[in-house]
Amino acid sequence: SLTASGHTLRDLWNTATYTIKPLFLQIPGVSRVEVLGGHVPEYHVIVDPLKLQAAHLSLRDVTAALEKNNVIASAGLLARNYRVYLTTVDGRVHSIAQIENIVIVVRDGHPVRVQDIARVVRAPAPAYTSMTANGHPAVLLQIESHSNASVLAIASALKSALLKLHGELPPDERLAFFYDQSSFVRDSIGNVWDAVLFGLALSVIILYLFLRNWGSVWTAVVTIPISVLIT
């Protein structure tokens, strides 16, 4: 969880998305990092109904034009120096001016642009959930691992990454574990070893009482822990 006293939720979202998330994705075994909460910035196209009607357009025409001019497309594969690269063409818009200049339709040689029938503003996306940590508004980072990854190794690497980030983040921003699944794994491992030791002690007592042979007892003492370690 990421919290701060002197920053907005939009600032926290930017920090989580562009600073913390890329670092966490570099950790071996991490498959996905999802940022939850905060104010996600987006562009709002507010259409004027009268201007839309005067231009003989529909909302579907506006939506289709926006989708057509805001895409990432694959450009194929590039083979060079015995390596193959997946290339893409980034056709996304990155400013209000670019959105306003998108052509919706051309009539009699005259383009009808988004700015002719709507205004574009930058604002937070509608928020339907609220994230808190210790009673304070927060942005959460949900980390998912590969199916064959070690949860304990990932947790250890995350703690090292947190120590590194503490020196890079602003003083009033606090990044801490909110839910640590590795603690349950450690508890489970501890419970397994408790059961193994209890079973080993019980086996030693029973073997000695029935066989009265220390050789058989020592065989059980050695083989039981080895079989547990192998499995």
pLDDT tens for 109-163 read 899 999 999 999 999 888 888 888 877 888 888 888 888 878 788 888 888 888 8
Going from N- to C-terminal start, the domains of the chain cover 1-39+128-179, 41-124, 184-230
Using an 8 Å Cβ cutoff, are 45 and 71 in contact? no
Residues 151-193 pLDDT 10s: 788 888 888 888 888 777 877 888 888 777 666 667 777 777 7
Class for the domain spanning 41-124: alpha beta
| Closest alpha carbon to 15 in 172, 218, 183 | 172
- CA gap 155, 141 in Å, rounded: 14
Would you identify the CATH topology of the domain 1-39+128-179? Alpha-Beta Plaits (3.30.70)
Q: Which residue bears the tokens 């408790």?
A: 194
